[in-house]
Amino acid sequence: MNITTILSSIFELHFLYDFILYFCFALLCYVPFLDKITRPKHRIIIELAVLCVIYLLPWNILYTYVYAMDGIWEWEYFILFNRISGFIKDWLFFILTFLIVRKNVSVNVWKLAFVVLLAINWLCIQASLYVFSSRLVFYLLIEFFLFVELSTILMVDMIVQIILILILFLVFLWVFYRFVKPHLDLSDSNVIKKLCVIPVMFYIFYEVNLEISLHYDASAVMQSFTFSLIFVFAITSIYFYVTLFRMYHNITKTKKIEQQLKMQDEHYTALQAYVADARRMRHDMRQHLSVFQSYISTGKTEKLIEYIDEYRKSIPEDVEIAYCENNAVNAILCHNINKAKRDGIKIDVKTELPEKCGIQDIDLCIVYGNSLENAIEATNKLSEGKFIKIRSRITGNLLTIIVENTFDGIIKRDGDTLLSLKNDGEGIGTPSIKAIAKKYGGSAQFSTNDNVFRTTVILRLSDY
């Protein structure tokens, strides 16, 4: 078997290796955003496969041509050529993948950047595993098959690497779907922006150690130690991600609970004051009835009308305290509606919500609370025509919540994602509503019509 045939066979396997590696990388970038893909998934998979083939063919032809050149293996800068060409090939594909996913997925740019960087970290771990497994393959083949040809060793090594890619891909596929996806749905984009530093640091750490181990100290012990550090750093980073995300979610959940308790406290305080006023009015009613009877018996109609008018003015405005049967949601509604009325906002409320409906009170409060807070904040930017309409009803096993409000017409979007007008990124309220809707197998939509903003949330009720 001549050198041309050997190289041809090796490069065919290497092309398959690169194709699987790049294809798996691109798929990982989509996994945390499966519910935000704007095109049919099967078409995206086919296009990714075609893209990988078209992208890798020129590189494969280039390597085949270069490696077949006379004297290329003794070239002084051969290793440098491999490193630079591989670096350019990888990063061009990283950028291309980012742009393609950006086009097919409605997601915040920082969340997408974070996922792409995590997928790059996966490649770093894969490359580190490549070093260990290749040495093991060479050792086993030479130890047990003393006269194995080099071409056979290289081919067996490539097959082993392809198997390892698929195994590691399945592991990270589960990690991305099980842990990364739900955390991204609930996390603020500003938090994700700061977290991007970690995968960047991991990549720099990997590249520095790779250069040191391959070029400055070629000893097997040093290389093994270096790549062991990479694995330790990877595990530490994953643990840090999980811990940080959990802390963030606990803090966010605690704030929501505190906000809910505060609203309930204000509601019950107002309720107590209302009950106290009612008791006082009942106590005074006897005196008022005596006065009424006296004016009527003496025929002093004008005095009676004047007295009734003064009495009516002394009665405090009635406060709606029963918008729905659910006490927690009713407290949220009372708090926000009273605030809106104080701000001069016209309110139209019709809610249908039993005390128990199979949805946790804290989740309902998050949906109602965030929707009304956003509505009040947007409506208060207007000087006139301020209006909020609240509707909720149960149809079958679905709870539909609709909040409409007037606003100034100014809105920031990143694709289909609403962005905060106060800070960079998506904000907290809208992602929280989406997360709750997804938790209960429903949906959350945000639309505008002229100067009216509409929030529509559908939640699937469980048995209770």
Which has the closest alpha carbon to 115: 230, 34, 48, 170? 34
Give the residue carrying structure tokens 């984009």: 189
Is 12 in the same domain as 140? Answer: yes
pLDDT in tens, 4-47: 454 455 556 778 888 999 999 999 999 988 878 888 888 999 99
Residue 280: partners with Cβ closer than 8 Å, 6 or more residues away = none
Domain membership of residue 437 (yes or no) is: yes
Q: Kindly state the helix (H) or strand (E) to which residue 214 belongs, with its residue range.
A: none
According to DSSP, residue 178 is labeled I
Domain membership of residue 67 (yes or no) is: yes
d(CA 175, CA 177): 6
Residue 357: partners with Cβ closer than 8 Å, 6 or more residues away = 326, 394, 399, 461, 464
Domain membership of residue 164 (yes or no) is: yes
Domain membership of residue 304 (yes or no) is: no
Is 79 in the same domain as 179? Answer: yes
Render each residue's pLDDT in the chain as its tens digit; 464 residues: 444 454 455 556 778 888 999 999 999 999 988 878 888 888 999 999 999 999 988 888 887 777 767 666 666 676 777 778 888 888 999 999 999 999 888 788 888 998 999 899 888 888 777 777 776 776 676 666 655 566 676 777 778 888 888 998 998 898 888 878 877 776 677 778 888 888 888 888 777 777 666 655 455 555 556 566 666 766 776 676 667 666 766 666 676 666 656 655 665 565 566 556 666 666 677 677 777 777 788 877 787 788 777 777 666 555 445 788 887 788 788 878 888 888 889 999 988 888 888 888 878 888 888 888 888 988 988 888 889 999 999 888 889 999 999 988 777 665 555 555 555 445 556 777 888 888 888 888 888 887 889 899 999 887 54
d(CA 324, CA 380): 25
Domain membership of residue 172 (yes or no) is: yes
Is 55 in the same domain as 201? Answer: yes
Domain membership of residue 310 (yes or no) is: no
Among the candidates 253, 268, 301, a domain finishes at 253
Among the candidates 229, 253, 277, a domain finishes at 253
Is 418 buried (19+), middle (13-18) or exposed (0-12) by CB count in 10 A? buried
**Structure tokens that stand for 215 in this block:** 């070029």
pTM for this entry: 0.59
Among the candidates 235, 253, 271, a domain finishes at 253
Q: Which residues constitute the domain of residue 161? A: 3-253
Which has the closest alpha carbon to 368: 396, 334, 397, 345? 334
pLDDT in tens, 118-172: 899 888 888 777 777 776 776 676 666 655 566 676 777 778 888 888 998 998 8
Is 142 in the same domain as 224? Answer: yes
d(CA 329, CA 50): 51
Any idea of the CA torsion for 249, 254, 255, 256, to the nearest 10 degrees? Answer: 90
